[in-house]
Amino acid sequence: MTERSVIFFDIDGTLLTHDKKLPYSTKEAIFKLKENGHVVAIATGRAPFMFEELRKELDIHTYVSYNGQYCVLNGEVIHTNPLNIPSLEKLTEMALRNGHPVVFMDHEDMKANVPEHDYITESIATLKVGRFPTHDPHYYKGRDLYQTLLFCPEGEEQQYEQEYKDFDFIRWHPVSVDVLPKGGSKARGIEKIAAKLGFPEERQYAFGDGLNDIEMLKTIKNSIAMGNAEEMVKAVAKHITKSVEEDGILHGLKMVGLL
């Protein structure tokens, strides 16, 4: 048996196909890893409530969510990194003037500052999570928020990037951008969990495919980019496996000697 390791998996385009299906080979591989004594975790940009069913299906209780801003180890919250609310309030006012809606997100729910908008419907629908944000323009008050979604066409986020230096802006959809605390990333979240578990960097692995995986794949010693990943993502990974639709997780785990 190989030495016990911790393996982090992104969700969209990594564990799940672009149709949001979990390949049979991936599910089997995850359970085989756990059977062999490895720790399996998720590292995603999604909110915790957006992948509850997947966690149940794979029996996973350790995860990095909101791109590192809300981290859970064995069902227990061990690290949070909320957004700066005064800055967020100003950003929201600017977005409102520009006709760009926002969605506020904490660990339990998401609320939009407008009753409805085509950009919100279009982008959230692609996640196929079975829920949409309801309207509450004051949801940011009196609570910790770990991510906000800013809805604007490509390129228009630049004005916010210049104005709000305590946020990072990561595009995940042609009309939507993640707004995160500056410097927060999946890599930081993984660092918190790996430290608690006591795994050295040689026994940390990460699979990903998206732009929000770049920092993770650059940082984690044993990084694997999916075959369907963008070229700039593949460029920073140590290994490249097949696409998610071609049993890329199983292939990648065999490639690095975990299965």
Q: Alpha carbon of 198 to those of 65, 90, 162, 219: distances in Å?
A: 20, 40, 39, 17
pLDDT for res 26: 98
Q: Give CA–CA dist 133/28, Å, rounded.
A: 33
Highest CATH level, class, for 6-80+184-255: alpha beta
Residue 1: per-residue pLDDT = 47
* pLDDT computed for residue 2 by the predictor: 62
- H/E segment holding residue 224: strand 222-225
- Among residues 10, 106, 213, 247, which one is catalytic? 10
Q: Does domain 85-181 have CATH number 3.30.1240.10?
A: yes
Query: CA-to-CA distance for 10 and 190, rounded, in angstroms?
Result: 12
- Model-level pTM? 0.92
Task: Kindly state the tokens that stand for 153.
Answer: 């066409």
The reply to whether 109 belongs to the active site is: no
Residues 211-254 have pLDDT tens digits of 889 999 999 999 999 999 999 999 999 999 999 999 999 999 99
Q: What band does 170 get if pLDDT is binned at 50, 70 and 90? A: confident
Stretch 72-101: mean pLDDT: 97
Taking the CB of residue 96, how many other CB atoms lie within 10 A of it? 14
pLDDT at 62 over 90: yes
Q: Domain map of the chain by residue range?
A: 6-80+184-255, 85-181
